[in-house]
Each structure stands twice: as structure tokens, then as C-alpha cells.
């Protein structure tokens, strides 16, 4: 695993900058095949990492670890974990609140999924979809900003459309579901592959959307529960999977397309969109040393963590 660090230039462009390792984080009770580090979220020095295959009370129940710099602060487990729940398969942190996805949770139905919210390491909520069904995988992606929590369910069969996907918005202040977001509701669009939220703007990735090309992917932008834009890459190619990862800060959206082939087969790319009324693509980022199967853009880490909101991380 490696990271590409990029920063906003003086003219609003983006440049690749150097970065050096300052720490290596490991779980204090690391076990074989835990998959610690497969999911990561950062906020102002706090690092949250999931270990979705951690064997707690049950096999592959999952766990989440919280760090401040090099010090492990806490280990979080669900109050009602089960076999193969994969708690920690998605994580997001904002302030002292942490959201954790468990897409194989069986409370509503087999593998319908769930999302947990913790405040100060104490569980304060468990969310499930109001219309959850078997194999929805609610919790595949999670995001949080203030009291708003967004959860993706990319295998949700909206209106009988197989794996069209959906995303659900919750208000932590009331503990209730605010709305359900959907895309174009085409089969296997995987809407909800990724989610991001900033203020009232919500972005949802549909990594196998076919508008630009077969499985090229797309991003949907919402203001609250109202859809305002659909974004695709200017040079979209078949099987690129734009929208498998997404992030937003202020009026800038960043999304990865890990199977993009511009520099080499599946080398990957990251696309940047700005809200210039309307939203438009302003940059395409690739690694300076790109190679085949690098998968740049497979995940997108929090740029807030760097201490500069103009900096973000892209990871293969």
C-alpha cells in the first residue's frame, strides 16, 4: 500500500508533493487476517482504522481502532456483533463521533447491513434502512458531518431493479432517517458504492453506472435530499469505476477511478470537480510513476487530517 499526496496550487490547480512516513500504526491485539488498515478515516490528528475480519466474540465480527498520532486510544466493538458482520468494513470520523459500517449485519434480514455511531467511544446509535432487505449491504460506505450521517447500500434493489443501489440520510439529533437517495435506478449501477457529505451537500458514487460508458461510473450530487447534478469523467472508459471512492470539502469533490487505463492497464486515476455553478471537472490526477494494476484511486482518505483543507490523499 502507498499514498499519493496532492495539494492545491496557488492558481487553484493540484500538484503532487512529497511526503515522509511519521509513524506505523498497528493494533495492540493484532491477529492473522484481521485486515487492519483496509479502511481508514482521519480528522484533525485522529486516525480511525477498521479490522473487519477481527475475531471478537464471533468469527469475523470485526473491530475498529482509534489512534492519536502513534498512540492507540481505543478499540471499538459493536454491542450486538455477530458472525461475519464485518464491523469496520467502512469507517468515518468527524470530531469525536465515529460511524462504522457492518454491511453483513443480519438484524433486518440476512446481510441487510447496519451502521453504528459512537461518541467518545460510546455507542449512541445503530441505524438500519427503513426498507432494508436481504443482501442490501447497507453500511458498504459511510460518511458524517455534524449531525448528518449518510450510509450507502449498493446492492439495494430499488423498485425491483437488481443492485441499483441506494443511500440513506440520518439526523443524529433526532436519531431518525431523513430520506432515501437513489440514482437512475438502472440494474447493477451500485449507487452507494461511496458516500461523502459536507454541510448540506451529499455526494454518492455509482461505480458501475453506464451513462458515459459501460461500468465507467458516475457521481450524484444532492443538496439535502434534492438531486442537483450527475458527474462523469471527461475521458471515461469502459470499466473505469469512477465513484468507487469519493470525498468532498467545501466546493470540491474528489473521486477515484481505479481501473482507468490512461497510463497503463488499471493504473487508475483521480478526478476533481469544482462547484462553479454548475459542477464541472477541473483536474485529472495520475501518479508520476504509474504502472499496470496500481489501482490509484481505489480509496480516498480524509484531506482534513493533513491540517490543510486543500490537501488530500489517494491510495491504491
pLDDT digits (tens, 9 = 90+) for 209-223: 999 999 999 999 999
Q: How many CB atoms lie within 10 A of CB 21?
A: 6
Q: What is the CATH number of the domain that holds 170?
A: 2.130.10.130
**Would 8 be classed as within a structural domain?**
yes
Residue 93's domain comprises: 4-17+40-315
Segment 178-189 shows an average pLDDT of: 97
**Would 272 be classed as within a structural domain?**
yes
**Would 33 be classed as within a structural domain?**
no
**Would 23 be classed as within a structural domain?**
no
**Which phi-psi region, left, alpha or beta, contains residue 215 (left: φ > 0; alpha: ψ -120 to 50)?**
left
Q: In Å, what is the CA distance from 78 to each residue of 88, 90, 133, 209, 260?
A: 10, 14, 21, 33, 37
Segment 202-231 shows an average pLDDT of: 98
**Would 153 be classed as within a structural domain?**
yes
Residue 196's beta-bridge partner residues?
A: 203
CA distance 187 to 210: 10
Q: pLDDT band at 33, cuts 50/70/90? A: very high
Sheet of strand 71-76: strand arrangement: 39-43, 46-51, 63-68, 71-76
CA distance 5 to 19: 7
Counted domains in the chain: 1
pLDDT for residue 18: 56
Q: Which helix (H) or strand (E) holds 190?
A: none
**Would 307 be classed as within a structural domain?**
yes
**Would 258 be classed as within a structural domain?**
yes
**Would 28 be classed as within a structural domain?**
no
Sheet of strand 4-8: strand arrangement: 14-16, 4-8, 311-315, 299-301
pTM for the whole thing?
0.91
Segment 125-131 shows an average pLDDT of: 97
Amino acid at each position: 500500500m502507498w499514498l499519493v499526496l496532492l495539494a492545491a496550487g496557488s492558481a487553484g490547480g493540484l500538484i503532487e508533493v512529497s511526503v515522509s512516513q511519521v509513524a506505523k500504526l498497528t493494533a495492540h491485539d493484532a491477529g492473522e487476517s484481521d485486515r487492519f488498515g483496509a479502511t481508514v478515516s482521519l480528522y484533525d490528528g485522529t486516525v480511525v482504522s477498521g479490522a473487519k475480519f477481527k475475531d471478537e466474540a464471533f468469527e469475523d465480527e470485526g473491530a475498529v481502532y482509534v489512534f492519536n498520532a502513534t498512540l492507540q486510544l481505543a478499540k471499538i466493538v459493536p454491542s450486538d456483533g455477530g458472525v461475519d458482520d464485518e464491523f469496520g468494513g467502512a469507517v468515518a470520523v468527524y470530531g469525536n463521533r465515529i460511524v462504522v459500517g457492518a454491511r453483513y449485519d443480519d438484524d433486518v434480514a440476512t446481510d441487510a447491513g447496519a451502521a453504528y455511531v459512537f461518541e467518545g467511544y460510546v455507542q449512541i446509535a445503530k441505524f438500519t434502512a427503513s426498507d432494508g432487505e436481504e443482501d442490501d449491504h447497507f453500511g458498504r460506505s459511510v460518511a458524517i458531518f455534524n449531525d448528518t450521517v449518510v450510509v450507502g447500500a449498493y446492492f439495494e434493489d430499488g423498485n425491483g431493479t437488481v443492485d441499483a443501489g441506494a443511500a440513506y440520510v440520518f439526523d443524529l439529533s433526532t436519531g431518525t432517517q431523513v430520506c432515501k437517495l437513489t440514482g437512475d435506478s438502472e440494474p447493477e449501477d451500485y449507487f452507494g458504492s461511496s458516500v461523502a457529505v459536507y454541510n448540506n451537500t451529499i455526494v454518492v458514487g455509482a461505480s458501475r453506472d453506464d451513462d458515459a460508458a459501460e461500468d465507467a461510473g458516475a457521481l450524484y450530487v444532492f443538496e439535502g435530499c434534492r438531486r442537483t447534478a450527475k458527474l462523469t469523467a471527461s475521458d471515461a472508459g469502459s470499466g473505469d469505476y469512477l465513484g468507487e471512492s469519493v470525498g468532498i470539502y467545501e466546493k470540491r469533490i474528489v473521486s477515484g477511478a481505479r481501473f482507468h487505463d490512461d497510463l497503463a492497464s488499471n493504473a487508475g486515476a483521480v478526478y476533481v470537480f469544482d462547484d462553479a455553478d454548475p459542477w464541472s471537472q477541473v483536474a485529472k490526477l495520475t501518479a508520476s510513476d504509474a504502472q499496470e494494476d496500481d489501482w490509484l484511486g481505489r480509496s480516498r482518505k480524509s484531506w482534513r487530517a493533513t491540517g490543510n483543507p486543500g490537501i488530500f490523499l489517494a491510495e491504491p
